[in-house]
Chain A
Amino acid sequence: NAGVTQTPKFRVLKTGQSMTLLCAQDMNHEYMYWYRQDPGMGLRLIHYSVGEGTTAKGEVPDGYNVSRLKKQNFLLGLESAAPSQTSVYFCASRALAANEQFFGPGTRLTVL
């Protein structure tokens, strides 16, 4: 039982490049979330999903897209990376009737 995993762990992009971050969970959780964490700020919600095939915008969705084609996977895409997207990205999941979110180890992204 690996919990929540994220790939890659680190990535450096040039401005304008695209990439996809993968989040996978093996706990059969309904809800999945993508956050970004910046110095001096709390985690901010980018997008979330309440089930397979559904996604919704969070607090800071601009510049990101997501997909939830399979229940266990939640993908975060950057179509044209910008330096403002330099951050640490965390994925989380939780069960339908539970309060607690379980977080992945994070992906550190640098956009030059």
Chain B
Amino acid sequence: KNQVEQSPQSLIILEGKNCTLQCNYTVSPFSNLRWYKQDTGRGPVSLTIMTFSENTKSNGRYTATLDADTKQSSLHITASQLSDSASYICVVSGVWGKLQFGAGTQVVVTP
């Protein structure tokens, strides 16, 4: 069973609207959690990284939150743009540096 579960699998949103992606993990002990953006046909690119002591991190219109007690994270996209169409991957690192990847949420932003 994957130790990092993401939901929804996919979503379609209108340009300009907001959306929130979810990540639940069971990785323990936990070191940090990252969100990556992967455009079609490209490699993942880091958006945010949070350690267990951080509960929010922003990168422009992207805001990630972390609740280490409930082992949940979310990525909020504000005022979506067409260029936000991509797969968003949640990645959790254990203390020994091993990364566990979620399967990703495919976001499609329509005009």
Contact = CB atoms under 8 A, between A and B. Distances in A.
Interface in B78-98: 89, 93, 98
Main secondary structure of the interface of A (DSSP, over half): loop
Nearest to A40: B103
Q: How large is the interface on A (under 10, 10 to 19, 20 to 34, 35 or more residues)?
A: 10 to 19
Main secondary structure of the interface of B (DSSP, over half): strand
Interface residues of B, number: 20
B43 A99 contact: no
Contacts, number: 40
Contacts of A24: none
A67 to B, nearest CB: 21
Contacts of A103: 43-45
Contact of B104 (A42, A92, A100, A106): A42
Interface of B: 2, 4, 32, 34, 41-46, 49, 89, 93, 98-104
Interface of A: 4, 40-45, 90, 92, 99-101, 103-106
